[in-house]
Structure 1
């Protein structure tokens, strides 16, 4: 059970002894040099003192520890103890000694892809020794390739996919929750593979070109070769995953390698802590994109920022950032689709589309100065699919399916122990708490429910309502892994009369940092007199931070969030901002990092926000603002365009755009209803119509917002009636009841990856009868294509009244089910802006949640319409 693995980690991870020393050797001079350089620049001798105090280290351990400290980011150096890293190092050497492949792994691969604890931006933990203990017998006797597959099966027992927010859970937290988004599943799987001495790395496509999403998966090294696999998604063989086809359309896939890596892959960027490498050609055809940046006079511009961007989530998202050389040149090996290339010298900018059909360099002229405004339109084309799938045998596939079902049952047995609405309601009654809120909090806490229950039960009666408010104000993911010491620390926050108290004083969550009991830390660090001075005059706290925290521009280019206690006079700008907000809240000052603009702010006694500018001695009210309105005329099924799906707003600063982070469910209408006022300055409104083939009709409108003026811009979504277009979204993870199997399952689990047909039908209904007869008439075409067709009734009673015998010629790939509680119907009505919920409703959608066809009510010739669309797709 998962609780076993967690308790093992906490109880025994630190007890790992030093393994047998294979051979004594001096520390690699390059590692020693880089270690000395870093420690000297940080001006903190605590790590050197630790090394001097540890005479028990073997030469291998000492070199491994210096390797880690030479290249780890500053938040990891200051946020975790040397003993924490030593435990992980000793576990790595133990696996190297005991696993049969241990001595076959080259030193380069061992150093860069086994030793490092960090995978992405997750909180670090002691999962390595715990995972090793649970896995070592399970993979005994297997080859390295077989062990990779087996570890992934073990990971599937522990966790399955569920989307969530941007903070990445630690591997142990993923095990506890039994869920994770792709970034968490891949982080977890890499950690598990490294735990048994198998080199592993997370591969990441920052954004797809053909759909609005990104993805992360795993590469594992065996016997001289890198293989890929879907994390927690076991297949019978390696190099096979649901994303084979999407990856073949990839424009850029990369991985972040710990330290200074000298492997064979193209280096995208080399920093003092990491090497970012390009692995695109492992998955897709590539070509070199050559860019030359010139000024208005045609002269090359050196050191210009060159963003190689993809249209995704309605923005031009930079998947790679380069600097132009003395000849104004920058290049990138990328996929066979269109890049949007944005270049800037910090003041002026230029933009161009780089297509694979273009020969020679793409010239970008920095001709758009600080006052330039205008509209640009681009037809953006993604690469075509080119995957060639390896094929497992039928026996391998059957055995893998059997194992997947068994592993699902193991995970389900664990998750069945989580809090239920009934158990949560009973606890609320016993403790005198709001039942609905308590139920929400406990059911969302998943594997952390026992801790939450214990915390609420142990809290005195007079503080329980406040404790519930604290649990409510943190994020859903926080409830799954918050610790009791953090809750106790922030529950003790003295109450103020500000209406902002819960969200911006008591709340421990600031941005995406690891939650810690930082209020006790600030209480210990500053005297009551100092805390009172800061509270009465927040400007003094701004000045303290400005004068006492130096800006680190070297040792955290990966932007890992440093927890406040780890700030020792040196921090990157974002970590300094988090430190400021944490201190302010600890002193009773409402403070935040604005979720839309990213500005650091504190509130005055009237709850008005003031911007904090650490590089400016002046402390002034928020930047002057203007009113802004988007004008949209409904077109097709789009009545109220969605943010990120159909449009975004970016503020252009220093020649580069930064997207404004509105909520994911915001629309043009909801943003207007919020009454947002916008800082003065230059903005870019990007709109896009995603076509069914993945292409985009994009439009960029650059304009100014003036202070105390009203600016109106048309929200124009380009159309092309000759192509199949994406007309809306629908969640393919929705659950329905499968009548044949008698189980509740996701649409995705039935349809598989790709396009499918979903129909909401009624029994003994004329339009439905017409639809099913039309489908029956072209059944052979549907069967030849193989796309699943899921037909749902409202409930079991409707299903019982349906006479399937009236439609003997329906395609064999039709699946019947029921729409549980009408959720699917409700989502279709809302997402596609249907005038009513009248059935039948038919859509064609894909498992990237794109709807490309809709029919509602009486429709003649539906079967031919559906097959025509599928053929064009």
Structure 2
């Protein structure tokens, strides 16, 4: 008995000692670093003194919890402090600590790695949620007995059970919203995977190439740490081994890959910039051959200029997009390590600017003179050359590949079983038709909303039912039609109710888009209308309604602007801005629009220029839609409409292009104080014909037009010009698309007698036919698809965009699946608008292998593969893997034949 009591006492004392030890353990053992964090935290408290935002620190916390929270609060963006409670952040600190204690690799992860790559909840610009706690419970039993590297692979398999790739808008869904939707774009998938890895204590970070150098678009993936080394993997795209993904080859042509590390990070990687929220590091050396170059910025007299902004820009989507920003040092210099290709270096200071092409690997030094200023006209041509491909793929055995394929098929089944619980068009229409109070057109719209809402359909149904009870079914349909497609998938019921019940009914064309609509920009939706109607008294509200300038004045006088503490421009909620009386510029603009809409003033942020706009209806009742004003928060007088002029451009159709597309062939950027800002016209329909064939009205100012012709090699023939648009005047210019005389050439051979097994009406035929038989004499396209893979999805969507042109060409396009099993996973409804000239089939006789061998392609397993060839066995175009704008490249080649 005494022995039992002794043992119990020993255990109790051990637990008590461990508890006390844990209670008094430091989160940051390095006293110097800890002191710096404390200093940054205290400065944050002083700056954000309103709103009782640090109340969590007045509660009973262990030393570990207090220091961990101080670290998080010291470097959080503004929104994470104003919009999430201290209890939420404490919950995540405790969950991260639990994972480090319970997972077998917890002791292997250094304090620095844990601090920067495990503890932080935020990955990118997503809304924060309780994913860490939810994911841990599901993942722990799956990974706790694995090695660290195998655990990373296993977590990615789990993610593939939950979500696959699907493009969407720029707003990033939270990890739990991605699970509920069952798909996401690459930025959402990688955010999801990082959150999942961190939930089980594995250091992880999201890696971005801001833009590819050899093709349009960008990409995001994940790096995870195991056993002393960082590895990369494609999120929700499990492979048998690490350091393998469909993007190995494109990444080897990349010029910059970066990641934003939470807080002050002192790791071994090249630091690109340090902000109050994060340290941006360059990880391009993990993927491609690199070179360093030093830029010296001088004034017109040749003297070094310190403190100049140096922007390193890649040609992508027909603009020179900034992928890195540096400030020159006392000697006027700034350096960058990048892949061995061409960038444009744009330097500016105090309204003066200059630019030069920089070829990394060929030039280790470049001088840029600030010899231009806003308003200086110019015109020049640039030839841009991207890096060459140099990918090295890790070895994968046939057994590993077969097992990975088996697992992915099983995971597809698990995910598809969940997707099957979502609303089908038939079920959605049946439900909508049963709702009394909706007319036929409204029923169809509701059915469409239910299908589009994916895993959020219960919320949409509840909202429509509630609105019908209130006698506002039609208005609810208008509201759902105003929000984004992604909002349908993750909006919450109380928010939708708030905007339905607390929006004024105003007779104005913009009453739905600029008043009823909860969505303003890329912020997380909140119930802000009832909030502001409660906190702003009736007299003040009426005063603002009849004198909107007073609301502008209130914002200017009462909201402290602090862009430095919100480096990622993560939008604060309007309520958070009100409580903190602080915001970054972007959040201040959203706040103004939210308050205006809450008080019955139609307001919005212009998608092209970024200007804050409102309609004054109260003082202009005789105008159908009131009077439009552009807000200038720096003005004390009545707002005015910005002066505007017009721009028109002549274009001479080329052999390849008859209507250049915005973002594909040309863009316009406004230059203010030597810095470029892209004008964001509608990407779905903007072209020379719709924008510049007739005079385009635009704010007066100085603009830079960029146009480019992408070559099959990935290079670009660029034309740039500087234009002055003066008030009340029309500027005439030319849209120049440079051409290459030798762009199209015979580059290989393909046997047109090659066989495949055709598919007709969804049935695989018994006997094969030749490509020649299927297509007849002349040119044709053959493509071999990687079903469900992001590069193939991109390719098919790009082809669908140009279906009319491809059908007008009239030649056949043979699209092959590697086998019947892969064909079974193909969902043609995911790619509406594919040309009617397509012939589907199974690659039963090795066409993919033939193309890869004959064209000397480097990667035998990388799909999709496309060729344009003719029945004389001549190949004039080939593409393998990830290629943005494939349809356009095909048509460009076709028009050149």
1:770 maps to which of 777, 781, 784: 777
Q: How does 1:511-590 map to 2 (within 5 A)?
A: 511-567=521-577, 568-590=580-602
Q: Is the 8 A contact 1:19 1:94 kept in 2?
A: no
Q: Give the aligned partner of residue 454 of structure 1.
A: 462
Runs of 4+ in 1 over 4 A off after TM superposition: 18-21, 672-676, 740-744, 761-767, 810-829, 837-840, 842-855, 866-870
By how many angstroms is 1:301 displaced? 1.3
Q: Is the 8 A contact 2:647 2:730 kept in 1?
A: yes
Distance 1:640 1:626, change over 3 A: same
Does structure 1 residue 722 correspond to structure 2 residue 742? yes
SS in 1 for 2:142: coil
More displaced, 281-290 or 618-627? 618-627
Deviations 1:556-593 (A, max 9, x none): 11111111011121111110000000000000101011
Does structure 1 residue 270 correspond to structure 2 residue 290? no
Q: Give the distance between the partners of 2:205 and 2:761, measured in 1 at CA.
A: 38
Q: Give the distance between the partners of 2:64 and 2:390, measured in 1 at CA.
A: 45
SS in 2 for 1:340: strand
Q: Give the distance between the partners of 2:431 and 2:678, measured in 1 at CA.
A: 43
By how many angstroms is 1:280 displaced? 0.7
Q: Give the distance between the partners of 1:70 and 1:743, measured in 2 at CA.
A: 61
By how many angstroms is 1:548 displaced? 0.7
Q: Is the 8 A contact 1:292 1:328 kept in 2?
A: yes
Does structure 1 residue 82 correspond to structure 2 residue 86? yes
By how many angstroms is 1:633 displaced? 2.1
Deviations 1:620-656 (A, max 9, x none): 3221111222222222342211111111111111111
Q: Give the distance between the partners of 1:775 and 1:242, measured in 2 at CA.
A: 23
By how many angstroms is 1:743 displaced? 8.9
Does structure 1 residue 209 correspond to structure 2 residue 213? yes
SS in 1 for 2:254: coil
Does structure 1 residue 160 correspond to structure 2 residue 164? yes
By how many angstroms is 1:854 displaced? 5.8
More displaced, 149-158 or 18-27? 18-27
Q: Is the 8 A contact 2:68 2:93 kept in 1?
A: yes
Q: Give the aligned partner of residue 750 of structure 1.
A: none
Distance 1:261 1:764, change over 3 A: closer
Q: How does 1:236-385 map to 2 (within 5 A)?
A: 236-385=240-389
By how many angstroms is 1:222 displaced? 1.0
Q: Give the aligned partner of residue 621 of structure 1.
A: 640
More displaced, 815-824 or 477-486? 815-824
Q: Is the 8 A contact 2:706 2:719 kept in 1?
A: yes
Distance 1:817 1:158, change over 3 A: closer
Distance 1:838 1:232, change over 3 A: closer
More displaced, 293-302 or 600-609? 600-609
Q: Give the aligned partner of residue 7 of structure 2.
A: none
Q: Give the aligned partner of residue 717 of structure 2.
A: 697
Q: Give the distance between the partners of 1:324 and 1:738, measured in 2 at CA.
A: 61
Q: Is the 8 A contact 2:758 2:769 kept in 1?
A: no
Q: Give the aligned partner of residue 233 of structure 1.
A: 237
Distance 1:636 1:370, change over 3 A: same
Q: Give the distance between the partners of 2:646 and 2:352, measured in 1 at CA.
A: 26
2:628 maps to which of 609, 614, 621: 609
SS in 1 for 2:731: strand
Deviations 1:232-275 (A, max 9, x none): 00000111111111111111111000111111111101112211
Q: Give the aligned partner of residue 439 of structure 1.
A: 447
Q: Is the 8 A contact 2:53 2:82 kept in 1?
A: no
Q: Give the aligned partner of residue 40 of structure 2.
A: 34
Distance 1:724 1:196, change over 3 A: farther
Deviations 1:591-641 (A, max 9, x none): 011000001111122433211111122333221111222222222342211
Q: Give the distance between the partners of 2:119 and 2:673, measured in 1 at CA.
A: 39
Q: Is the 8 A contact 1:684 1:700 kept in 2?
A: yes
Q: Give the distance between the partners of 2:488 and 2:166, measured in 1 at CA.
A: 16
Q: How does 1:730-741 map to 2 (within 5 A)?
A: 739=759
Deviations 1:644-686 (A, max 9, x none): 1111111111111111001111212222589741111111111
1:464 maps to which of 447, 458, 473: 473
By how many angstroms is 1:860 displaced? 4.9
Q: CA RMSD in A?
A: 3.6
Q: Give the aligned partner of residue 609 of structure 2.
A: 597
2:124 maps to which of 117, 120, 124: 120
TM-score, normalised with respect to structure 2: 0.82
Distance 1:491 1:48, change over 3 A: closer
SS in 2 for 1:213: coil
More displaced, 260-269 or 762-771? 762-771
Q: Give the aligned partner of residue 496 of structure 2.
A: 487
Distance 1:813 1:64, change over 3 A: closer
TM-score, normalised with respect to structure 1: 0.84
Q: Give the distance between the partners of 2:39 and 2:313, measured in 1 at CA.
A: 36
Q: Give the distance between the partners of 1:634 and 1:762, measured in 2 at CA.
A: 40
Q: Give the distance between the partners of 2:819 and 2:95, measured in 1 at CA.
A: 51
Does structure 1 residue 664 correspond to structure 2 residue 683? yes
